[in-house]
Amino acid sequence: MTRVLSGIQPTGQPQLGNYLGALQSWIALQDTADAFYCVVDLHALTVPGEPADLRDSTMAMATLLLAAGLEPDRCTLFVQSHVAAHSQLAWILECTASFGEMRRMTQWKDKSAKGGEEAARLGLLAYPALMAADILLYDTDRVPVGDDQRQHLELTRTLAERFNHRYGQTFKVPDALIPERSRGGRVMDLQVPTRKMSKSSESPQGTIFLFDEPKDIERKIKRAVTDADQGVDAVRYDPTAKPGVSNLLGILGTITGRSPESVAADYTRYGPLKADTADAVVELLVPVQVRYRELASDPGAVAKLLRTGADRANEVASATAARADAAIGLLPPS
């Protein structure tokens, strides 16, 4: 059976891009694959934050994943820091990667540019090695993620191949599983449709958060930036010339399981397209919000599920970590 693994950071407000780019495939893959999903709390340490917030948001993210449709009987859901092998293998992969290749990662360049390289945490630079560890520990075949993670996936493959070449066959080399950009792989900001929608965006009006009230979702979509075109072909899928309209077509198409081109054929004006997109998003998110409130009322039950998930993950991960330790020449404990 195909093994899949993916992760999501607990910090920031989860948004529609997370759902359409990643969670939607995570949910579907539970039926067809042996699926491992983790809340990557160690990755959150790469930027400043409060300990209490990290604890709360880790629990909240796990609860949200369950509310969105992950079922502990059909997948292994766990918290990254509960499985020690993640940090252990990350070190080995840091010693497999080079400084130069880490420094070339777009995410490092973008994020370190904000506060300056001098202050950026070393973990932010090394982050792709930890992500590679997350993936390689599970002999993963496919990694369902959004398009923004393509570069990190490529690096994971490179590190796996390099390690295998140097020390002998140890890791399975994984493939990415990325939806096409028009099918949720890259949901764009509603106000600046040339920029991806993001948890950490400074553009709350351009971001649909998964916990937004229906009236806020409707308002944000109604005010989404489009263009001044009129006429019968104003509604068409053309991300370069018409990024705002194309983004709405992508969102509505992804939710309804249609291509953006076929959705476009149903409309001539922006108003009705926006109204139907808003309805589809509200219909998608409200049931998740309702289930979230139910699950959040019993945090003990969620914690117990995470415990079971971590035990299951640990069995697989500790064996792979031991294999890597032995391959690289660490003396096995007797």
Using the rule CB under 6 A, is 22 a contact of ligand AMP?
yes
Contact region with ligand AMP (CB under 6 A), list: 95-103, 143-151, 245-253, 283-291: 143-151
Q: Which is nearer to ligand TRP, 124 or 135 (CB)?
A: 135
111 catalytic per annotation: yes
From ligand AMP, ligand TRP, none, interface partner of 17 (C-beta below 5 to 8 A by class): ligand AMP
Q: Which is nearer to ligand TRP, 43 or 157 (CB)?
A: 43
| Radius of gyration (C-alpha) of the chain in whole angstroms | 21
Q: Which is nearer to ligand AMP, 14 or 234 (CB)?
A: 14
Q: Is the Cβ–Cβ distance between 124 and 47 less than 8 Å?
A: yes
- Binding mask of the shown chain, residues 111 to 140, with x at each position contacting ligand AMP by CB under 6 A: ------------------------------
Phi, psi of 264, rounded to the nearest 5 degrees: -60, -35
Task: Based on DSSP, count helices (H) and strands (E) in the chain, helices before strands.
Answer: 14, 5
Q: Is the Cβ–Cβ distance between 41 and 2 less than 8 Å?
A: no
Q: Which is nearer to ligand TRP, 152 or 183 (CB)?
A: 152
Q: Is the Cβ–Cβ distance between 317 and 137 less than 8 Å?
A: yes
**CA dist., res. 265 & res. 237, Å (int):** 10
**Which of 4, 5, 17, 134 lies at the binding interface for ligand AMP (CB under 6 A)?**
17
**Which of 90, 197, 234, 245 lies at the binding interface for ligand AMP (CB under 6 A)?**
197
CA angle 318, 82, 10 (to 5 degrees): 130
**CA dist., res. 213 & res. 224, Å (int):** 17
Using the rule CB under 6 A, is 199 a contact of ligand AMP?
yes
Please pick, among 114, 172, 196, 242, the residue that the annotation labels catalytic: 196
Q: Is the Cβ–Cβ distance between 39 and 62 less than 8 Å?
A: yes
From ligand TRP, ligand AMP, none, interface partner of 134 (C-beta below 5 to 8 A by class): ligand TRP
What is residue 181's DSSP assignment? G
Interface contacts to ligand TRP, rule CB under 6 A: 5-9, 40, 43, 131, 134-135, 143, 145, 149, 152
199 catalytic per annotation: yes
242 catalytic per annotation: no
For tokens 């006429």, the residue is 231
From ligand TRP, ligand AMP, none, interface partner of 197 (C-beta below 5 to 8 A by class): ligand AMP
**Which of 86, 196, 242, 274 lies at the binding interface for ligand AMP (CB under 6 A)?**
196
Using the rule CB under 6 A, is 18 a contact of ligand AMP?
yes
Phi, psi of 4, rounded to the nearest 5 degrees: -120, 150
Q: Is the Cβ–Cβ distance between 72 and 305 less than 8 Å?
A: yes
Contact region with ligand AMP (CB under 6 A), list: 51-59, 191-199, 219-227, 325-333: 191-199
User: What residue type is assigned to position 303 of the chain?
Assistant: A
Using the rule CB under 6 A, is 8 a contact of ligand AMP?
yes
**CA dist., res. 158 & res. 87, Å (int):** 19
**CA dist., res. 282 & res. 288, Å (int):** 10
User: What residue type is assigned to position 93 of the chain?
Assistant: L
Q: What's the closest the beta carbon of residue 178 comes to ligand AMP, in angstroms?
A: 8
From ligand TRP, ligand AMP, none, interface partner of 196 (C-beta below 5 to 8 A by class): ligand AMP
Measured CA distances, 306 to 31, 234, 268, 325 (Å): 20, 49, 48, 27
Asked whether the CA dihedral 31, 34, 39, 44 is positive or negative, the reply is: negative
For tokens 């890259």, the residue is 186
Using the rule CB under 6 A, is 309 a contact of ligand AMP?
no
Q: Which residue is nearest to ligand AMP (CB)?
A: 21
**Which residues are tagged catalytic?**
111, 196, 199
Instruction: List residues near ligand AMP by CB under 6 A.
Output: 8-9, 17-18, 21-22, 145-146, 148-149, 185-187, 196-199
